């Protein structure tokens, strides 16, 4: 039984790893932010993203995720709120690109960046779909303790995602520190446009038939 459990967790961890290393809203936002404002800002936002993932995990454990997924109105509201928020973050990134790296690094307190990271993730419908459509596949009903299993998988997901996001932040901040002047501003603007592209992709990828 232990071997079966370990194999199941290994498959889950591999699934989470593949999902999290795939570029998406979280990675795009954290990379753009870290290149513009530095590692400290990126890590503050990473903590917010982790909190957002925790919100999704807890909501899924109590059935809220399934409720959102089953309600076309709630799902569409969440989907478009997430898209619009990403576009707003892209605008902020474009605006910050006009300032010097030092000025940008000084803009935005850790508390505000934390909340931006949290909202970015909470408004991501793909996170809802992950906990509704993917996580249940790794629940072993014959073992019982469904809530405990959901809690364990949620904790593991947040842990793996946070390690990957923190790594992205460190690498992006280091790359941002090596780029300055007009080239640096141009790259930061390109990253902002990348966030817009991610927002458009998110709107397309999470649409539903007839929506």
Do residues 162 and 50 make contact, with C-beta atoms less than 8 angstroms apart?
Answer: yes
pLDDT of amino acid 181 = 65
Distance CA 10, CA 153 (A): 11
Average pLDDT over residues 190-202: 82
User: pLDDT: is 134 or 69 the higher one?
Assistant: 134
Q: CA dihedral defined by 33, 114, 202, 66, rounded to 10 degrees?
A: 160
- The per-residue pLDDT for range 86-143, each reduced to its tens digit, is 888 788 777 766 665 544 444 458 899 999 999 988 888 888 888 888 888 888 877 7
Tell me the domain boundaries of the chain. Answer: 2-205
Q: How many residues does the chain have?
A: 211
């Amino acid at each position: 039984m232990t071997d079966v459990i370990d194999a199941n967790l290994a498959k889950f961890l591999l699934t989470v790893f593949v999902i999290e290393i795939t570029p998406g809203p979280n990675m795009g936002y954290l990379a753009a932010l870290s290149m513009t404002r530095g590692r400290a800002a990126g890590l503050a936002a990473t903590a917010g993203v982790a909190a957002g993932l925790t919100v999704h995990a807890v909501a899924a454990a109590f059935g809220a995720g399934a409720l959102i997924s089953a309600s076309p109105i709630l799902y569409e509201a969440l989907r478009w709120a997430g898209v619009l928020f990403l576009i707003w973050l892209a605008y902020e990134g474009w605006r910050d690109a006009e300032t010097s790296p030092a000025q940008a690094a000084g803009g935005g307190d850790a508390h505000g960046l934390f909340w931006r990271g949290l909202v970015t993730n909470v408004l991501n419908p793909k996170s809802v779909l992950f906990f509704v459509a993917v996580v249940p596949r790794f629940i072993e009903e014959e073992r019982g303790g469904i809530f405990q299993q959901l809690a364990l998988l949620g904790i593991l997901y947040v842990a793996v995602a946070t390690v990957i996001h923190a790594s992205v932040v460190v690498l992006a901040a280091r790359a941002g520190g090596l780029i300055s002047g007009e080239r640096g501003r141009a790259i930061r603007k390109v990253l902002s446009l990348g966030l817009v592209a991610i927002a458009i992709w998110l709107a397309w990828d999470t649409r539903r038939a007839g929506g």
